[in-house]
Chain A
């Protein structure tokens, strides 16, 4: 398929004259008009959706490679799924080299926009929002690329996701930048993915700002090689409204950056402030698992050169309040569960509190104590570089 898609794109490039623009305007049956355009599009075509509000009754889907879906702007072209009766997301993309640009998806019943196995996908100036504010009944993910090579999310705004605003799963070569995530459970989540940059984003008023996870029993594991840098991550103070079974339901309110069971995560140059629990939390995966290839420990994590504002004033961990009182009103801005190899963790810009937990112990067994993880910073790799065509599409 991948090869077929690449061929299709080459053909499209070789014959640009063949590329068309399929216009969609408000009025009539929006469901039929937009879906028809998405079905009729050929590689290289643009589906241009004019300004207006479109009332959709079912999920939309695109399965043609090399197509651009373009609106008149994230506040002008609005796909409203308030009346959605079926499908697991608002828009589903399953083809490669797709560009999504300048439109909004509102109030989808499941996820906002999902792209699966869609390589080199570009999300540019896309807004996904649940307009009723944070609610458990909101959809799980706003922008949701999964199982893809090459992901660029640039200038997105996501509000109200009951799991993660921007969630990249089981993918590689990823950039999430210049985006705003607020009032989600998790702002941005990089999960079971490798080689990702999360840069120049604003994450505020989520439960947790930026999460970097690796979970067991998934087709693609070994997550890591993630840089979280130059982001403004503050006041992530929304009560956790995730359905309980999900892993993000365990994220304490007031978490800036959470690194769990990952390999090679650099948290640098961020402005971190006003987090009741911690500006940065480094933890292992504590649930039981049966996956021989899974490593539940954090390793090669570097926290350096961040600006730390207030943190740890109401820690969302068992005994947190007493702990904060005992430590003079707040705990240090970096919290480590104490599990894993301290020699593989570096924190140079703030004090660290370890919960002193051994593998398998529950937080109730915590033996909190300061930890010194201050050591020379390992070399930080250069930025993720995506294919020029993706960058051009995001201009």
Chain B
């Protein structure tokens, strides 16, 4: 077995090396990124030398996140583009500082590997006046994707990890809804490629070696993989909240008014949700008193909202028409493992 695995690894290395020997010379259309208008077709950017096969052009590099945002079990193919002669700057705590002219490209679809069928590609373009987010929906023949600023809904059928087949009304966000997640103090900003979420002992180094990133410090912070059974439960749960919630639930984010801040290093335990009462949750609170009632997942609003798919209750508010059963299970285990506190007794006493 070991021999076969090694052979496969060697073949993979060879393939990589072969690719490296024949560099892709297709060039991204920088003016499409930088101009003020909204190109009607994804092909206008030239992010892919072969759009149908989604072969990236030069300086368009695929990346993965340790803990990604859950989006209805969609597969996501993520790419970073940094213009020639420029470089992203390493940031210890924030998203990598990407130069004007850079772009992030994320294709959503279902099916693994060759069976992958794209639905939409969202692009984030770094223009002189700031970041712009645009959604492109793939044409029926999958030859190109068309700009859909208003968003849309599409029926999608896919197989869940449990093997169950699901059909959902898949939501492509409208351009403003992109901002609901991608907003920092009101301005659009990327959220995925932070050093901590890219740091898997390989990607930061590879980006630096490829001339895309200025440096890859050995002591870069590292976000756990939410599905890494070997990692501590607390690290996994915090990583899950960091990427699924904290882009809004932070002091500079769209959910700032909630006072619930779910960043992986949030120091204030009430802000983190521990015995925190709801503010404007409405029926999202269910019949529960606290965002997190330690030791009591069934009394915790956080789980109620993650388990729901009902608009007005479901969190996140956009981008989710199914429940992430595995993510909910992780957080359930995490809250159940917390030592119980007297919040519930206090609740009784107050009545």
Q: Which residues of A contact B (CB under 8 A)?
A: 1, 31-32, 35-36, 38-39, 57-59, 61-63, 84-88, 92, 94, 108-111, 116-117, 136-141, 144, 146-147, 162-163, 167, 169-170, 215, 217-220, 243-247, 286-288, 290-291, 362-363
Q: Interface majority SS on B: helix, strand, loop or mixed?
A: loop
Q: Given known contacts A116-B254, A243-B282, is B349 in contact with A62 (CB within 8 Å)?
A: no
CB distance from B86 to the nearest CB of A (A): 26
Cβ–Cβ < 8 Å partners of B290 in chain A: 245
Interface residue tally on B, bucketed by range? 35 or more
Complex Cα distance, B283 from A139, in Å, reads 7
Cβ–Cβ < 8 Å partners of A61 in chain B: 174, 176-177, 180
CB distance from B165 to the nearest CB of A (A): 20
* Beta-carbon contact of B179 and A85 below 8 Å: no
* Beta-carbon contact of A137 and B283 below 8 Å: yes
* Beta-carbon contact of B317 and A87 below 8 Å: yes
CB distance from B117 to the nearest CB of A (A): 22
* Beta-carbon contact of A246 and B285 below 8 Å: yes
Cβ–Cβ < 8 Å partners of A144 in chain B: 280
Most buried by A among B175, B176, B276, B281: B176
* Beta-carbon contact of A146 and B257 below 8 Å: yes
* Beta-carbon contact of B318 and A92 below 8 Å: no
* Beta-carbon contact of A109 and B187 below 8 Å: no
Cβ–Cβ < 8 Å partners of B346 in chain A: 287-288
Give per-residue flags for B211-238: 1 if the beta carbon is below 8 A from chain A beta carbons, else 0: 0000000000000000000000000000
* Beta-carbon contact of B350 and A245 below 8 Å: no
Cβ–Cβ < 8 Å partners of B196 in chain A: none
Chosen A-B contacts, 12 in total, with CB atoms closer than 8 Å, are: A32-B152, A39-B150, A58-B153, A63-B176, A92-B176, A110-B313, A136-B283, A139-B283, A147-B256, A169-B279, A244-B285, A287-B346
Complex Cα distance, B271 from A281, in Å, reads 30
Given contacts A170-B257, A286-B350, 12 further A-B contacts (CB under 8 A): A39-B175, A61-B180, A62-B176, A86-B171, A86-B317, A109-B311, A109-B312, A163-B280, A169-B279, A245-B287, A288-B343, A291-B270
* Beta-carbon contact of A139 and B282 below 8 Å: yes
Q: Given known contacts A39-B149, A243-B287, A291-B270, is B312 in contact with A86 (CB within 8 Å)?
A: no
Most buried by B among A87, A94, A116, A137: A87
CB distance from B307 to the nearest CB of A (A): 15
**CB within 8 Å of A: which B167-190 residues:** 169, 171, 174-177, 179-180, 183, 185-187
* Beta-carbon contact of B150 and A88 below 8 Å: no
Q: Which residues of B contact A (CB under 8 A)?
A: 149-153, 169, 171, 174-177, 179-180, 183, 185-187, 251, 254, 256-257, 259, 269-271, 275-290, 301, 310-313, 317-318, 321, 343, 346-347, 349-351
Cβ–Cβ < 8 Å partners of A39 in chain B: 149-150, 174-176
Cβ–Cβ < 8 Å partners of B153 in chain A: 57-58, 85
Q: Which of B251, B288, B311 contacts A110 (CB 8 A)?
A: B311
What is the count of residue pairs linking A and B with beta-carbon distances less than 8 angstroms? Answer: 162
* Beta-carbon contact of B317 and A245 below 8 Å: no
* Beta-carbon contact of A110 and B317 below 8 Å: yes
Cβ–Cβ < 8 Å partners of B317 in chain A: 86-88, 110
* Beta-carbon contact of A140 and B179 below 8 Å: no
* Beta-carbon contact of A94 and B174 below 8 Å: no
Closest to B152 in A: A32
* Beta-carbon contact of A85 and B281 below 8 Å: no
Cβ–Cβ < 8 Å partners of A117 in chain B: 186
Complex Cα distance, B276 from A39, in Å, reads 36
Q: Given known contacts A140-B281, A215-B279, A286-B350, is B171 in contact with A58 (CB within 8 Å)?
A: yes
Cβ–Cβ < 8 Å partners of B251 in chain A: 219
Cβ–Cβ < 8 Å partners of A35 in chain B: 149-151, 174
Q: Which of A94, A136, A139, A217 contacts B179 (CB 8 A)?
A: A94
Q: Given known contacts A32-B152, A39-B149, A286-B350, is B311 in contact with A162 (CB within 8 Å)?
A: no
Closest to A81 in B: B311
Q: Which of A84, A140, A287, A290 contacts B284 (CB 8 A)?
A: A140
CB distance from B324 to the nearest CB of A (A): 16
Q: Which of A86, A217, A244, A363 contacts B287 (CB 8 A)?
A: A244
Most buried by B among A146, A219, A246: A246
* Beta-carbon contact of B278 and A362 below 8 Å: no
Complex Cα distance, B150 from A291, in Å, reads 42
